[in-house]
């Protein structure tokens, strides 16, 4: 289904949806540890804060980098070294900070987890296989010479809303939806129709039919609300 819907972010229209994200794409990117792709991430609140899933950072053995391309052609590819601010394993959320400005086209976070079944959502992620199929070359300054691959915006509808626990942690709000989601989408943004972040892509179940043909993907996205208090404290 083609989408031609203006999405408002920070009271300005930054994006139009037509199955792919257009305009400045620096607000979405891949998370790397060393030279290994481990998931997706996105910029929130200001030009330097990056959100991803905590499980993307389970094995930190090397520099954490945010890799992004600000245009469709990938002619303006940049990487940003990240520092971990907080990892909330009990909510599968992580907040990182770039050492330098990434973009002014950052995402706004919805003030509360106000969602409903059948509500439209928009989500994105990077296909990890497409990332790993590339050889990550870097120039003499350490900048990547290839652009992130497999970046798309998808539309879906919330099929259910529930709570779960990670281990013995607190209850975690999440939504479920059917739609394309593959390894690498973890840490990607899930937005409401106003372009506000409501959740972070977390995991997916794939149903198979005869001859192992996929017939559905049921995805879960965990609420981003537990990070709000931390982000608010950084504003002070």
Angle at 118 between CA 113 and CA 124, to 5 degrees: 65
With 0-12 / 13-18 / 19 or more C-beta atoms within 10 angstroms meaning exposed / middle / buried, residue 159 is middle
- SS3 of residue 215 by DSSP: strand
Per residue in 125-164, pLDDT (tens digit) is 877 666 655 545 555 555 544 445 545 678 889 999 999 9
Of 144 and 86, more confident: 86
Whether the per-residue pLDDT at 191 is higher than 60: the answer is yes
Lowest mean pLDDT among 90-99, 179-188, 191-200: 179-188
Name the residue among 181, 165, 185 with its Cα closest to residue 173.
Answer: 165
Name the residue among 156, 148, 87, 95 with its Cα closest to residue 120.
Answer: 156
Q: How many Cβ atoms sit within 10 Å of the Cβ of residue 207? A: 11
| Location of structure tokens 């179940």 | 205
Per residue in 5-31, pLDDT (tens digit) is 333 333 333 344 433 344 567 888 889
Alpha-helical (H) ranges within the chain are 128-132, 228-235
| Location of structure tokens 């539309």 | 155
Give the C-alpha separation, 218 to 125, whole Å: 15
| Location of structure tokens 């079944």 | 117
Whether the per-residue pLDDT at 112 is higher than 80: the answer is yes
Contacts of 213 (CB under 8 A, 6+ apart): none
Contacts of 7 (CB under 8 A, 6+ apart): 13, 14, 15, 16, 17, 122, 191, 193, 194, 195
- SS3 of residue 227 by DSSP: helix
CA 204 to chain centre: 14
pTM for the model: 0.81
Question: Hey, what domains does the chain have and what are their CATH numbers?
Answer: 5-235 (2.40.10.120)
Give the C-alpha separation, 107 to 191, whole Å: 9
């Amino acid at each position: 289904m083609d989408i031609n819907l203006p999405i408002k972010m920070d009271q300005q229209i930054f994006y139009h949806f037509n199955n792919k994200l257009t305009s400045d794409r620096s607000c979405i990117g891949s998370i790397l540890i060393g030279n290994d792709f481990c998931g997706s991430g996105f910029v929130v609140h200001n030009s330097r804060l990056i959100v991803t899933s905590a499980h993307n950072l389970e094995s930190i053995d090397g520099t954490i980098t945010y890799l992004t391309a600000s245009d469709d052609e990938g002619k303006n590819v940049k990487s940003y070294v990240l520092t971990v601010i907080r990892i909330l394993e009990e909510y599968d959320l992580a907040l990182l900070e770039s050492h330098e400005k990434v973009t002014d086209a950052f995402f706004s976070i919805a003030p509360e987890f106000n969602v409903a079944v059948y509500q439209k959502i928009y989500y994105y992620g990077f296909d990890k296989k497409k990332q790993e199929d590339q050889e990550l070359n870097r120039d003499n300054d350490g900048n990547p010479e290839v652009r992130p691959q497999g970046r798309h915006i998808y539309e879906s509808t919330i099929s259910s809303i529930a709570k779960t626990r990670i281990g013995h942690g607190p209850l975690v709000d999440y939504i479920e939806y059917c739609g394309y989601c593959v390894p690498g989408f973890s840490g990607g943004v899930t937005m409401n129709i106003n372009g506000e972040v409501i959740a972070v892509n977390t995991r997916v179940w794939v149903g198979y039919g005869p001859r192992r043909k996929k017939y559905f993907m049921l995805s879960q996205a965990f609420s981003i609300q537990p990070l709000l208090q931390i982000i608010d404290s950084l504003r002070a």
